[in-house]
Chains A and B, each alone.
Chain A
Amino acid sequence: MPAIFTPKVVTANALLEGDVVYLTEADTWSRTLQEAEVLTDEADAQIRLIDASSRTGEVVGVYLADVTPDQNGPKPAHFREAFRMSGPSNYPHGKQSEAL
């Protein structure tokens, strides 16, 4: 039986601001994980990754991150991604403050 593919999103850091961004279905970069395109097929995910990696004028360090799909959009599967989504835990800086 083939291993079950964990759903993924394409993520990176913005070139100018350095903050975390996610690839949307419309090929734009969003600051919010909920708006990210969820990739459920491995071959599809690899192609989206390769295409996104070539956008070096916009982002740095593109990779696929595991997510758990939910009615409200994808949720981070790992705590590292949870921090990237919200910001550091010692100050209300980063995304958690911008969302307000």
Chain B
Amino acid sequence: MYRYTDFDAAFVAERNAQFRAQVERRIDGSLTEDEFKPLRLMNGLYLQLHAYMLRVAVPYGTLSSAQMRQLAYIAERWDKGYGHFTTRQNIQFNWPTLRDVPDMLDALAEVQMHAIQTSGNTIRNVTADHFAGAAADEIADPRPVAELIRQWSTDHPEFQFLPRKFKIAVTGSPNDRAVTKAHDIGLRMVRNEVGEPGFEVIVGGGLGRTPMIGKVVRDFLPEADLLPYLEAVVSVWNLLGRRDNKYKSRIKITVHEHGIDDIRARVEERFALLRPAFTGVDQQLYAQIKSDFEAPAFADRDTAPFDQAYANDPVFRSWADTNLSAHRAPGHAIAQISLKAHGATPGDATADQMRVMADLAEWFGHDELRVSHEQNIVLPHVHKADLPAVHAALKDAGLATANIGRISDIIACPGMDYCALATARSIPIAQEIATRFDQLKLENEVGDLKIKISGCINACGHHHVGHIGILGLDRAGVENYQITLGGDHTETAAIGQRTGPGFSADEIVPAIERIVDTYLSERDSADEAFIDTFARVGMTPFKTALYGESERKQKAA
């Protein structure tokens, strides 16, 4: 695992000391809020509706057991005994007071963590697949690539004043779990016909106000060309990107306005100029970073305990069927811990639950945990023989919900229960949908279905790429929920289509039920997933199910 260098540790310590002094100066009146606000945001401290919120970075979503235990300690000592894991693969504490924050930051630094946010119009933290280094379908671990880009772009003189922020995601697997097509640049690690490693480069994706699916700008980029090519993309956008209008400044708009072919031609021209300057130092650095991410030593053991539990324990079997994914090492599995117990707040874990997860990682999981962008926790490397014990411990801690990828495994942003920008709530809608489908005992029958909910147009809950997306709006002082169908967050990414007028908070759960009923009656077999049925039959039957009745009623009236 990547460890802080002395430089990193000294940098964080200095930043914490500075921030402690800044908080003091804010409290004694020598700093105004206008002066203090950018400083606190840089240190991950936001002001929400009811309190301050501290957003802690989890690079590549990777945590050790000691780090998870420290998060539990912080939750108990300075918050209300829980933390909220988010789609940005980080954790938020919702109730700190201003005076406590410097101590919280010092507690984080003890385990090499921080809340420093890359803010401003720069290249932001590079994100990677949460199954990195573990997935059976992986060609190569994407994290060294992400770290290489991070080190190269940090303090790069040309990239300090970009038109807007810039986000990059990397996946090393053909099955895209990093939503690469919804980033400014998405990188997919691939091999060419002769087996050489390289990247498919996707550009111009993004969600928010103007959602766009990224387009392929280069279908095969040799590994050694990565940094000059990225630099070419960023500098073409740096020149063309609109600085006059915040809503038109992201590269997705530049690509949309100029067309992908024009962008490609400009990038290639620029790339030809830049390439000679890269003489291989970057590749040496890459090799060095790779050694920091070396895989643990996987044991070769008998899987009999797993096979027995699977055959005899139906509760274990159903958990194994939904929450395990294929690992690249024989006898191993990737185990997901659902933070979506029916009726609970998506992404929340109590301090006790964090400690249980930390213990399991230490005892059975090579001391590693991941935070997924779907707001669950991952034990990336567990031997199958240990899974019955892992499951039993999770069950005792209320963490054994068997629903990964199911209708109750909902992504929901904090919405108006916490967020100052929200136009409606999202958490209670997620809670009600999960509770309802649990009552109906329909989850396994429905199968793979992703619901994603945002409490405003910023789309932090990724609603555009949910199979069913829900967007909470304020319509004349009342919460109103717009539905989109057919969104897709994977390698076949798509933006969902609006069904029509939105629904009130009371009507939204019945509306989702009607959509699911329609899917169940339209699908050609139990093997056809919701997203495939939608692709085949289109919007019409769903629209009729949602609006047919009321339209007829209106005509009759």
Residues of A at the B interface (CB closer than 8 Å) are 13, 15-20, 56-57, 60-61, 77-80, 83-84, 87-91, 93-95
How distant is the Cα of A65 from the Cα of B102 in the complex, in angstroms? 32
Beyond A83-B49, A84-B50, is A16–B417 a contact (Cβ under 8 Å)? Answer: no
Quote the shortest CB–CB distance from A38 to chain B (angstroms).
Answer: 19
12 pairs, A vs B, C-beta closer than 8 Å? A15-B26, A15-B98, A16-B99, A17-B97, A18-B51, A61-B33, A79-B477, A88-B50, A89-B417, A90-B428, A90-B431, A93-B95
User: A13: which B residues are within 8 A, CB to CB?
Assistant: 47, 51
Known contacts A17-B51, A18-B47, A84-B49; A90 and B97 CB within 8 A of each other: no
The answer to whether A16 touches B51, judged by C-beta atoms less than 8 angstroms apart, is: no
User: Are A19's CB and B51's CB within 8 A?
Assistant: yes
B contact residues around A15 at 8 Å (CB): 26-27, 33, 98
- B98 to chain A: closest residue by CB: A16
Residues of B within 8 A of A80 (CB): 49, 416, 422, 474
> Is B345 close to A, CB under 8 A?
yes
Q: Which of chain B's residues has its CB closest to A84's CB?
A: B49
Q: A93-B80, A93-B95 are in contact. Are A78 and B477 (CB under 8 A)?
A: yes
**Minimal Cβ-Cβ distance residue in B for A94:** B50
**Secondary structure call for the A interface:** loop
- How far apart sit A18 and B45, CA to CA, in the bound complex (Å)? 11
Q: Which residue of chain A lies nearest to B51 when distances are taken between CB atoms in the complex?
A: A18
- Specify the chain B residue showing the minimal Cβ separation from A66: B477
- In the bound complex, do residue A90 and residue B99 qualify as a contact, i.e. CB atoms below 8 Å apart? no
B49 touches A20 (CB 8 A): yes
Give the residues in chain B near A61, CB-CB below 8 Å.
33, 47
Q: Can you name 5 extra interface pairs (CB under 8 A) apart from A79-B477, A83-B416, A88-B50?
A: A13-B47, A18-B97, A80-B474, A90-B345, A94-B50
Contact B97 A16 (CB under 8 A): yes
A89 and B425 contact, CB distance less than 8 A: yes
The complex places the Cα of A17 from the Cα of B477 at a distance, in Å, of: 28
**CB nearest to B45 among chain A residues:** A18
Residues in chain A near residue B94, CB distance under 8 A: 93
Q: How far is it, in angstroms, between the C-alpha of A95 and the C-alpha of B51 when the chains are bound?
A: 11
Chain B residue numbers with a CB within 8 Å of A79 are 416, 477-479
Whether A20 touches B27, Cβ cut-off 8 Å, given contacts A83-B416, A89-B417, is no
> Is B157 located at the chain interface by the 8 A CB criterion?
no
* Alpha-carbon distance A20/B474, docked complex (angstroms): 21
Within the complex, which residue of B33, B99, B425, B478 is in contact with A56, where a contact is CB–CB below 8 Å? Answer: B33
Question: Whose C-beta in chain B lies nearest to the C-beta of A78?
Answer: B477
Judge if B52 is at the interface, Cβ distance under 8 Å: yes
B29 within 8 Å of A (CB atoms): yes
CA distance A16 to B101 in the complex (A): 11
Instruction: Give residues 252-291 of B contacting A (CB, 8 Å).
Output: none
Contacts of A83 on B, CB cut-off 8 Å? 49, 416-417, 425
Say yes or no for B349: interface residue by CB 8 A criterion. no
Instruction: Kindly identify which residue among A57, A60, A90, A91 contacts B47, using a CB–CB cutoff of 8 Å.
Output: A60
Please give me the residue from chain B that is nearest to A20 by CB atom.
B50
Residue of A whose beta carbon sits closest to that of B417 = A88
List the B side residues contacting A95 at CB < 8 Å: 50
Residue from the list A18, A57, A77, A90 in contact with B427, Cβ < 8 A = A90
Counting chain A CB atoms within 10 Å of each CB, which of B33, B49, B478, B479 scores highest? B49
- Bound Cα distance from A87 to B431, whole angstroms: 17
Q: Give Cα A83 to B27, complex, Å.
A: 27
> In B62-108, which residues have CB < 8 Å from any A CB?
80, 94-99
Residues on the A chain within 8 Å of B418, using CB: 88
B32 within 8 A of A: yes
Distance between Cα atoms of A16 and B422 in the complex (Å): 23
Give A83 to B243 CA distance when docked, in angstroms.
Answer: 36
For window 127-152 of B, CB contacts with A under 8 Å fall at: none
User: CB within 8 A of A89: which of B32, B33, B422, B427?
Assistant: B427
